[in-house]
Structure 1
């Protein structure tokens, strides 16, 4: 009989949870009332029964003790415990509402759940450590083979080699013999069924790059007769990190590799909410500064206070960006050109100060409210320069998957770029953002930007 010890895990889990639940209930009663003499008398008799009935019903409905070995870890176990306890608390609260005329101690209930979380949590952690050590020593193990020899097949065997606590024991590769796999195989496809039966194989991993549908169907048919699991290995590396998802067309699963909808709802919602609140706060609280900077800009040199220019935003959509004018009028009448830094003679004296302190960027908070930009994101560029950058660094197009921002990692670490080569260098920093963006990273970048502004180190 395969895994004769595994069948004991479920009843043991159920048994110890009931022990922890009842011990916590009794202990909390003694803590709250000083003794347990009347715990089996009304009204706590009915509450005690309700505790056990509710837990049993939750177990039957949710079947919470079924964990694949790959997920049998502290994190999933504790999250499941918290979920079960929360549901149990809701059921008991409903029970309490039905008996509003009966007094139950809130202190006793609170202590019961605290004790239960502690004892059940310790039981899970202790059981996890014991079982991992038990399996690492070779007990309660599952034997597996890999069908289809190649790099992906070697990856799964290395994974279980470095995780002996999962209890998977590799028994060999199966594939048609070729010069490349000479000496590496335990047999070919015609020998697989006999090997599985003889060695008591529990699981067969099938590597999709190296096996066709005819051979896979034969293995599936054999699994029903020989009682072993089949797991498919598909090489999705490089796809799933770019927002791939699975769609179902009736019964047919389709892998969507499109990266257009990269944002998860949670990240997009939090980021947009933060952008609106932060920008509105800056515009309202900073209105005196806006007026002051506008007046100085107006009288420091001839020309408008604000400067508008077309930039390219998310998914290649153009928009008009707003800045306090830091250059003389008609500075680019000869054609598009990059700033040569603070020594650029097209920049006004006041403009140099604004660029050092980054206050020329302040009107872009209007762009943020309009939805064209975000507070944090890669710097938006003109199409003219994007075309030149892409010729050198095609990966620049990855930045168009997210909204451009007022400030970015590249702006902090590198600053303004005077040449296409420098823009490519700054790109190396900005490419870190789409993969790692989060609210905490945005707050860190904003804090670093404020530091640059205060020190006047913008360039």
Structure 2
């Protein structure tokens, strides 16, 4: 059987990661408590089970061990590991809150994740080095042929020749014979299927437009019975520099050439799923806190509990944002004004505490569930202030390409702005977000926000 050992990589990867996860958990327990036996007793046995169940669900959902050889690189492997660990930490944090696990040691969790990431990263590095050397020596190779001789064909061969660690072995060019390519071809189109069977070719690269539809149909229809893959090569390099995207008109793929890339679909889907899950947990588990804050807001000053105001969201669409009221009801009787921070006498004493701890923003999880906002994203502003900001900093319009958020890097690093100049200054932080937007970046901002809330450093 071809590549009989390749099938072992997948279960081996799973087994080693589970071993690393459990060694990290138990090892951290021993480092923290100098004991091993009690890790199987209450309360840590439930946390240990949660550790493994969450990782199992991640494997089923994200399928992290399925990737082509071209992506078997250290940076790609570590990015995937970081994503998985980030999701794992977030779910364990939610589990901690749900079970009210005040008896768990944060130091133990930190050590457990450090050990796990270290062991998992070491395994990935070792696997990468082993496979590179193994494939460079001629083992575990994939045999490939190229159909349609031309510049694109020589480019793909040069790529694999320059990267022997990927384990691709060239088995010839196939095309119609001409005076120019006669000495370079292994065979014609008619001879292709014979060579595929004789050389046990795994992959056939078809270079467009040198292969016509009838020839391509024969190659594709024979692929299943002869057990090889068919891959199309189309030279888009001249277009990719300008930015491209693929649209599907029914089953027909259409290359869209434009000056702006479409937002990454996978990031958007993952971000929306996380927003809904996080907001549901926050509103559900935080309901007693929300009711307590509502009661305190109502009894400490006259006026409504919630403050509703129109803000501008993604693509310039207005929406109504909700917050716990932190100012007196006549705060903006003279017109729209920015908060002057701690010295602003329009803020109630209770409102000042809520602003310092960011607790006044909690009702915005409802905005997240509605889809108006995200958990992480640039803070939304009123059109009145946006018009003034754009006059000074037109690049503010870039923030309208993404959903506004409850918290942002600008809100964490700078805080509330007391003037248009300060809003422009905060802008230099928020402009980083549309370009760096990722799940890991969002988790990092959330952790910084929690630190600000606990320390009461909001301003």
With normalisation by structure 1, the TM-score equals 0.57
Corresponding position of 1:4 = 4
Distance change >3 Å, CA 372–CA 25, structure 1 → 2:
closer
Q: The residue matched to 2:238 in structure 1 has which SS?
A: coil
What is the CA–CA distance in structure 2 between the aligned matches of 1:368 and 1:262, rounded to whole Å?
A: 26
Corresponding position of 2:48 = 48
Is 1:219 equivalent to 2:216 in the alignment?
Answer: no
Corresponding position of 1:141 = 141
Distance change >3 Å, CA 225–CA 112, structure 1 → 2:
same
What is the CA–CA distance in structure 2 between the aligned matches of 1:101 and 1:215, rounded to whole Å?
A: 64
Q: The residue matched to 1:186 in structure 2 has which SS?
A: coil
Corresponding position of 1:162 = 162
Q: The residue matched to 2:235 in structure 1 has which SS?
A: coil
- Which sections of structure 2, spanning at least 5 residues, go unmatched? 268-312, 314-386, 397-430, 433-459
What is the CA–CA distance in structure 1 between the aligned matches of 2:118 and 2:20, rounded to whole Å?
A: 9
Q: The residue matched to 1:255 in structure 2 has which SS?
A: strand
What is the CA–CA distance in structure 2 between the aligned matches of 1:137 and 1:167, rounded to whole Å?
A: 9
Q: The residue matched to 1:187 in structure 2 has which SS?
A: coil
Q: The residue matched to 2:186 in structure 1 has which SS?
A: strand
Is 1:204 equivalent to 2:214 in the alignment?
Answer: no
Q: The residue matched to 2:19 in structure 1 has which SS?
A: helix
Q: The residue matched to 1:115 in structure 2 has which SS?
A: helix
**Root mean square deviation, CA, Å:** 2.8
What is the CA–CA distance in structure 2 between the aligned matches of 1:145 and 1:136, rounded to whole Å?
A: 19
What is the CA–CA distance in structure 2 between the aligned matches of 1:233 and 1:80, rounded to whole Å?
A: 27
Distance change >3 Å, CA 126–CA 257, structure 1 → 2:
same
Return structure 1 stretches of 4+ with deviation > 6 angstroms: 262-266, 371-375
Cα deviation code 1:199-233 (max 9, x no counterpart): 10000000002111111111000102111001111
Distance change >3 Å, CA 262–CA 85, structure 1 → 2:
closer
Is 1:81 equivalent to 2:81 in the alignment?
Answer: yes
Cα deviation code 1:286-325 (max 9, x no counterpart): xxxxxxxxxxxxxxxxxxxxxxxxxxxxxxxxxxxxxxxx
Native 8 Å contact 2:135 2:167 kept in 1: yes
Note the C-alpha offset of 1:26. Answer: 0.9
Corresponding position of 2:14 = 14
Cα deviation code 1:358-388 (max 9, x no counterpart): xxxxxxxx9994489779xxxxxxxxxxxxx
Corresponding position of 1:31 = 31
Native 8 Å contact 1:367 1:373 kept in 2: no
Q: The residue matched to 1:185 in structure 2 has which SS?
A: coil
What is the CA–CA distance in structure 2 between the aligned matches of 1:243 and 1:56, rounded to whole Å?
A: 37
Cα deviation code 1:321-373 (max 9, x no counterpart): xxxxxxxxxxxxxxxxxxxxxxxxxxxxxxxxxxxxxxxxxxxxx99944897
Distance change >3 Å, CA 229–CA 262, structure 1 → 2:
closer
Native 8 Å contact 2:245 2:261 kept in 1: no
Q: Output aligned runs, 1:301-450, within 5 Å.
A: 369-370=390-391
Is 1:106 equivalent to 2:106 in the alignment?
Answer: yes
Native 8 Å contact 1:175 1:189 kept in 2: yes
Cα deviation code 1:393-447 (max 9, x no counterpart): xxxxxxxxxxxxxxxxxxxxxxxxxxxxxxxxxxxxxxxxxxxxx98xxxxxxxx
Corresponding position of 1:254 = 254
Distance change >3 Å, CA 39–CA 155, structure 1 → 2:
same
Q: The residue matched to 1:211 in structure 2 has which SS?
A: coil
Corresponding position of 1:131 = 131
Corresponding position of 1:181 = 181
Note the C-alpha offset of 1:181. Answer: 0.3
What is the CA–CA distance in structure 1 between the aligned matches of 2:183 and 2:111, rounded to whole Å?
A: 63
Distance change >3 Å, CA 264–CA 85, structure 1 → 2:
closer
Larger Rg: 1
Q: Output aligned runs, 1:287-298, within 5 Å.
A: none
What is the CA–CA distance in structure 1 between the aligned matches of 2:28 and 2:41, rounded to whole Å?
A: 16
Q: The residue matched to 1:197 in structure 2 has which SS?
A: helix
Cα deviation code 1:141-182 (max 9, x no counterpart): 000000001111000001000000000000000001000101
Native 8 Å contact 1:160 1:168 kept in 2: yes
Corresponding position of 1:413 = none
Note the C-alpha offset of 1:98. Answer: 2.9
Note the C-alpha offset of 1:244. Answer: 2.1
Note the C-alpha offset of 1:96. Answer: 1.8
Corresponding position of 1:229 = 229
Distance change >3 Å, CA 368–CA 28, structure 1 → 2:
closer
Q: The residue matched to 1:2 in structure 2 has which SS?
A: coil
Distance change >3 Å, CA 169–CA 209, structure 1 → 2:
same
What is the CA–CA distance in structure 2 between the aligned matches of 1:7 and 1:70, rounded to whole Å?
A: 17
Query: For this pair of structures, how many residues does the alignment match?
Result: 280
What is the CA–CA distance in structure 2 between the aligned matches of 1:243 and 1:152, rounded to whole Å?
A: 20
Native 8 Å contact 1:50 1:92 kept in 2: yes
